[in-house]
Structure 1
Amino acid sequence: MQVYVLLVLCVLFWSANFVLGRFVAGAIEPWELAFFRWLGVFVVTLPFLLLHVKKIWRALREHFGILVVLSALGIAAFNTLLYIGLQKTTATNALLINSSIPIIIVLLSFVILKTRISKLQVSGILLSTLGVIFLVLKGDVQSILTLSFNSGDFWVIASSLCWASYSVLVKFRPSSLSNFEFFITTVSLGLVMLLPFYLAQGYTWEREVMILTHYTWVIAYVVLFTSILCYYLWHYGIAHIGAGKTGQFTHLMPLFGSFLAYLFLGERLEWYHLGGILLIFGGIYLCLFVKKKC
């Protein structure tokens, strides 16, 4: 039961990332937010990196390929692509696309890891996906006909594919590294990958100082909670219940996002939120708590 509680907290903290992303959309550009986020994580974890540098260097020499792939998918690409997409698409479209992550994880687990897909797992995923759709459509199923897609949606799709792929391929991470050692290794590699793209934007020194001064609390949150804590909890979940079941918790993001928007952005809670809650939790219950293995 402990792992489920920790994953709920993980998704809650991640959901706040969407609220903060909307809050600073006009002030901080995607490349800036992504770079400052991982630079902050690197600075915080640098002392630990130095303590384990010999062990990490050995793992890099022996497993360079998979570490580069995981760093690119989970650190450099995932949130950067999401931040770019949210500049051009609606939150509704982004949440709908994001709800496909558990399905992608299950399918990739079946193809790559040969993980069995049970009827209960399929039923649970479909039910909670229906809950997400019901939630973001505000209970009006006919409004799905009015949804339009633009280039931002494809950035969000790419982001979802990156995170789903990362969640499955992390199974092949070097076993010689602890969770924390693996994390600081991928952060270091991912930051190196982001650096040339960040520098190519040509931001001025005055602008960056202004952003760091005025939005210190935003950077601090995405560094400490969205990055360090959430990544640790996500890997903890994968290690204990597998990528497929862990991915199912992604469906809680629109739910938590609605409540956080109510608390901090003044958005109203409506009847369809309750309907979405029931469907989402029903799907998670089918997949995680029914005695027959999923």
Structure 2
Amino acid sequence: MRKGISDRSALLFVVLAPLLWAGNFIVGRALHGTIEPFDLNYLRWFVAAITLLPVIILNWRDILLSYKRHMPELIVLASFGIVLFNWLLYVGLKQTPASVSGLIFGLSPIIILIIARIWRGRRLDLLEIVGGLVAFGGVGMVLFTYADMTSGFSLLTGPIFVLFAALAWALFTVCLNRLRLPLAPTPCMAAVVWCGLCLMTPLAVWRGNLTVPNVLVPEILASGLYLGVGASVVAFCAWSTGVRQLGAARAGVFLQLTPFFIVVMTAVFLGEEVSSRKMLGLMLLLVGIGMVNVGATKVPGNPNRAG
């Protein structure tokens, strides 16, 4: 009986995390005319870094040792996961509807698989190739519709930035698994966040946009708190707890809720249209990713779990 209650709680955690991550797209799109992408990214991770200070204090010996022995690895992880990922995403969201961006970013599991296979020198099997084509076809259909509605492909600059954001996230995910820093998940996150913040701070100081009066604007302050605490720390802890209870294989299925939540939330909060083509694209994306996951589970050391 106790195990059943634990599983139900874990299910709530692995649903909560994609819901919070989907909110990142909503906030990034909602603020696209209010704050510059770099500044929003810096504000997010500044808030997350402050929130993670107790973790740094409690684990300072292990984290300091990791900084001394694994600084190149930490810089790589911070560059992809903290500096580039959301910066590129927020740049893309300045020009691209959040629902379209969410579908593009939904290709991340397939990009992760491809990078992991290349890293290991393994080829994709037929089911993975077909699944990838189905997923990319669904997203491509939405992009072609979007380009047609916005009078040409010149406005695909935004989607290209979102695709590069997905690539940055995929590289971060694969490197996180392959580099294997000697830290527990939460201290590792704290170490990477603080490293990324240090990398961004000189540029943030030079730009000088994040002054106290600017940050205290209610809209920006609330968004920064949500992104730094909710979409970063709380989402990560919820996901880690759910994975620990359910296992990576069962929990990983729920990651596919992220593009679904994004499409629904953009309609509710941003008034973006949920067209039949967009829903068909979402269905093709999810079916394609499902086919890829089935193919990946046939291979020992499933690379779709971050390689």
TM-score, normalized by the shorter chain, greater than 0.5: yes
Distance 1:281 1:113, change over 3 A: same
TM-score (norm 2): 0.77
What is the percent sequence identity of the aligned residues? Answer: 26
Q: Is the aligned partner of 1:161 residue 2:163?
A: no
Query: For 1:57-96, what aligned pairs fall within 5 Å after superposition?
Result: 57-88=64-95, 94-95=101-102
What residue identity is the alignment partner of 2:274?
L
Give the whole-Å Cα distance in 1 for the aligned partners of 2:14 and 2:44. 21
* Contact 1:258-1:269 at 8 Å conserved across structures: yes
Deviations 1:17-60 (A, max 9, x none): 11111211122221221111111111111012111000111122
Call closer, same or farther: CA 1:210–1:289 in 2, change over 3 Å.
same
Q: Would you say the 8 A contact 1:92–1:136 is kept in 2?
A: no
- In structure 2, C-alpha distance between the alignment counterparts of 1:179 and 1:204, rounded to whole Å: 30
Aligned pairs, number: 289
Matched, 1:276 2:281: yes
Q: In the TM superposition, what are the counterparts of 1:196-207 in structure 2 within 5 Å?
A: 196-203=202-209, 205=211, 207=213
Matched residue SS, 2:131: helix
Give the one of 242, 248, 268 matched to 1:240. 248
Aligned counterpart, 1:262: 267
CA RMSD of aligned residues (A): 3.7
- Gap regions ≥5 residues in structure 1: none
Q: How far did residue 195 of structure 1 move?
A: 0.6
Alpha-carbon displacement from aligned partner over 1:186-215 (angstroms, at most 9, x marks no partner): 00100101111111212263542433x443
Query: Which SS does the other structure have where 1:124 is aligned?
Result: helix
Show CA shifts across 1:73-102 (max 9, x none): 101111012212333456577456535433
Mapping for residues 1-294 of structure 1, pairs under 5 Å:
9-88=16-95, 94-95=101-102, 97-114=104-121, 117-135=124-142, 137=144, 146-149=152-155, 152-203=158-209, 205=211, 207-211=213-217, 213-232=218-237, 233=239, 240-241=248-249, 253-288=258-293, 293=298
Letter in 1 for 2:231: T
Alpha carbons of structure 1 residues 41 and 11: separation in structure 2 relative to 1, 3 Å: same
- Change beyond 3 A, Cα 1:170–1:218: same
Q: Is the 8 A contact 2:22 2:262 kept in 1?
A: yes
